[in-house]
Chain A
Amino acid sequence: MSVSDLTPLSSPAGAQVRAVHDEFHGDLLEVSMGPHHPSTHGVFRMIVTLDGETIVKLKPVFGYLHRNHEKLGENTTYLASMPYTDRLDYLNSMTNNWAYAVAVEKLAGLAVPERAEYVRVILAEMTRLLNHTCLAGFLMQDCGCMGTPLMYAFREREKILDLFEALSGSRMMCNYQRFGGCRVDPSPEWIAGVRQLVEAYGPFLDEFEALLSGNEIIMARTQGVGRLAPELAVSAGVTGPVLRATGVAHDLRKVDAYGVYPKFDFRVPLGDHGDTYDRYMIRILEMRESISILRQALAALPGGPIMDPKAKLRGFRPKAGEAYGRIEGPKGEIGFYLISDGGPNPYRYRVRPPSFINLTILEDMCLGHTVADAVIILGSVDIVLGEVDR
């Protein structure tokens, strides 16, 4: 492959990459990373063109986990799609459930009791803790720190999964939210368990950060790597921690103020540089804010019903219309767009997956860096292929 095939060599992010042909530089090398690669977080494939060790072109290849999610959603009833949403982003089934429930509630005009709103916030923030902890562990794994940080992360993950299992009956695929509320009412013992978890999470984060955040190797590997400009992030539709790491204050919990989030006092952490280290730190800071939200929600959890008594689960047929429901998932804005024609199935069922849209700027972040950096940049974007390919 010659240089002329690669024009333009600059990306919208402004990274200037030059392929040089002299006695020290040979031809460009095309490397296919994936779909079986230990660092691609599933079955993701990158076709990377290298000049020496520098990336001059990166082409992502999707679709290795395309499971016809949207088509299946159009052929099953509204309620039967709920377990499928668990399998979109399989680390965060609770927030997927919530986003789908929000869309259907908008479509059908259902109200949610206050206790259910609080329980949803508690579960969503626990999911955020789970996702961000796992992400930090996997990112360290990608940096070459094999095993230990991931062991710490999974130790905490198991504690959260135990609570999810006690409440919903399943560790990962919770299938817990319903249209107009939640499936079961959490018991006082379960609430006490969450309180215990929340109190223990701060010390865990202190320990985790003491080991990792100031680590010289991690700073050398991540600072200044994979810088993302805020203008590009906004124009590409990036959401979630990846966007906030560039310094753009956009958090749907503040912007939309859905649920009972306006009642809680919390801050939205923002990054300065938009590099990989910022994306890591944003997650750590968000976890601290999540702990604060969880404390407030547990203290103010009201009594009352958990389901809207008027909500109907069997024979559910919303009137014709369309609705878009979105929440701030741990990876960004997760939304569901539904069109109803009055039947038992949605006429159109569309998912707005945060990690797929965050992945579109991967090439711009990777250009000019080495191939080893592409692995950690991909790790810091935080993708789950179940959601990317759907």
Chain B
Amino acid sequence: MSEPAPTPAPANPAPLTDAERDELRRHGILLTSLQEIYNWGRSRSIWPLNFGLACCAIEMIAASMARFDISRFGSEVFRPSPRQADLLIVSGTVTKKMAPQVIRLWNQMPEPKYCIAMGACAISGGPFKQGYNVLKGIDRFIPVDIYIPGCPPRPEALLNGLVQLQAKIQGQPIAGPDAPRHLRDDINCDCPVPEFGAHDLEPSQNPTVWQPPAPLVRTEKA
């Protein structure tokens, strides 16, 4: 008499499909991954820094008021201190006198942190780009996650930018080579704070986040 051979366990169980998950949820069993629930929690309570620069700040305040009600998206807690904030909304023109303070605030914020460039001025200098005193985009110094065009953007546009940021956070892996910078040791998160030099801010950009575009090369017509 021979014993029946044990059924071999499959080497790799097939991952649960969405339909099976929904079936389990109907029985009161919630299955999730650490990454999902971690990102879900983080993306639903982004606390912005209470920091207004120029015209866009008024629209940022309007977004937090009753009509647009940013608290529907979990971001109504505007913190005055960078130590308590997750999100820097660069809302307005950054001048060369103000840029070191903005970057210092960014460095003071704890990771994980995100940056929204709100309005044409914060993106590229906007209508004041020709000016001698205006920074041509805050992304030359700090990494920007979301750009919101407009002069100024409507509060709805700011809310849309916030939802885009939430989607971005939800897609971030918490391990592996694609993990964001706050989960890795090999990336230095501090941005150098520029100082006034003889002609311009020195350094005039942060090469780890921004490189000047390649110069246009005029080719001879064949």
- Asked whether any CB of chain A lies closer than 8 Å to the CB of B149, the reply is no
Contact B67 A65 (CB under 8 A): no
Separation in Å of the B106 CB from the closest CB of chain A? 11
B53 at the interface (CB under 8 A from A): yes
Q: Which residue of A lies closest to B93 (CB)?
A: A67
Is B35 interfacial (CB-CB < 8 Å)?
Answer: no
Among candidates B51, B127, B133, residue contacting A66 with C-beta atoms closer than 8 Å = B133
Contact of B97 (CB < 8 Å), options: A64, A91, A155 = A64
Contact between A67 and B134, CB atoms less than 8 A apart:
yes
Do A35 and B127 touch (CB < 8 A)? no
A38 at interface by CB-CB < 8 Å: yes
In the assembled complex, A59 has its CB within 8 A of some CB on chain B: no
Tell me the smallest distance from the CB of A49 to a CB of chain B, in Å.
21
Q: Which of A36, A84, A171 contacts B127 (CB 8 A)?
A: A84
Beta-carbon contacts under 8 Å, A163-210 to B? 171-173
Segment touching B, from A20-28, A68-76, A319-327, A371-379: A68-76
Q: Whole-angstrom distance between the alpha carbons of A333 and B154 in the complex? A: 29
Residues of A close to B51: CB separation below 8 A: 36
Other-chain contact of B58, A35, A64, A75, A91 (Cβ < 8 Å): A91
A142-174 with Cβ < 8 A to chain B: 150-151, 154-155, 157-158, 171-173
The interface residues of chain A lying within 8 Å CB-to-CB of B53 are 42-43, 65
User: Is the CB of B207 closer than 8 A to any CB of chain A?
Assistant: no
- Map CB proximity to B onto A244-261 as digits: 1 under 8 Å, 0 otherwise: 000000000000000000
Q: How far is the CA of A330 from the CA of B93 in the complex (A)?
A: 24
Whether a CB of chain A sits under 8 angstroms from the CB of B152 is yes
Whether A63 sits at the interface, judged by CB under 8 Å, is yes
Q: Is the CB of B101 within 8 A of A38?
A: no
Which residues of B have CB within 8 Å of A71? 131-132
Contact B55 A173 (CB under 8 A): yes
Are A65 and B131 in touch, CB under 8 angstroms?
Answer: no
A75 touches B130 (CB 8 A): yes
How far is it, in angstroms, between the C-alpha of A58 and the C-alpha of B66 when the chains are bound? Answer: 36
Judging by beta carbons under 8 Å apart, are B93 and A172 in contact?
A: no
Cβ–Cβ contact A64 & B98, under 8 A: yes
Residue of B nearest to A138 (CB): B61
What is the size category of the interface that chain B forms with chain A?
Answer: 20 to 34
A154 pairs with B133, CB closer than 8 A: no
In contact, B67 and A154 (Cβ under 8 angstroms) = yes
B152 lies within 8 A of A173 (CB): yes
Question: Given known contacts A72-B131, A151-B65, is B55 in contact with A172 (CB within 8 Å)?
Answer: yes
| Interface of chain B residues 35 through 79 with chain A (CB within 8 A) | 50-55, 57-59, 61-62, 65-67
Q: Are A68 and B152 in contact (CB under 8 A)?
A: no
The residue that B98 contacts in the complex, of A43, A158, A172, with Cβ under 8 A, is A43
* A316 interface hit (Cβ, 8 Å): no
A83 interface residue per 8 A CB criterion: yes
Residue in B closest to A152 when the chains form the complex, CB atoms: B66
Bound complex: CA A37 to CA B82 (Å)? 11
Whole-angstrom distance between the Cβ of B9 and the nearest chain A Cβ:
60
Tell me, rounded to whole Å, the shortest Cβ–Cβ distance linking B153 to chain A: 10
Which B residues are in CB contact (< 8 Å) with A226? none
Q: Which residue of A lies closest to B62 (CB)?
A: A154
Task: Name which of A37, A91, A154 has the most chain B CB atoms within 10 A of its CB.
Answer: A154
- Does B101 lie within 8 Å of A65, measured CB to CB? no
Known: A90-B54, A150-B65, A173-B55. 13 other contacts (CB 8 A): A38-B80, A42-B53, A65-B93, A66-B95, A67-B95, A67-B133, A68-B133, A68-B134, A84-B127, A87-B54, A150-B61, A151-B66, A154-B62
What would be 13 A-B contacts, judged by CB atoms less than 8 Å apart?
A: A37-B80, A63-B95, A65-B92, A65-B98, A67-B54, A67-B95, A68-B128, A87-B127, A90-B55, A150-B65, A154-B65, A171-B59, A173-B151
Which residues of A are interface residues toward B (Cβ below 8 A)?
A: 35-38, 42-43, 63-68, 71-72, 75, 83-84, 87, 90-91, 150-151, 154-155, 157-158, 171-173, 385-386
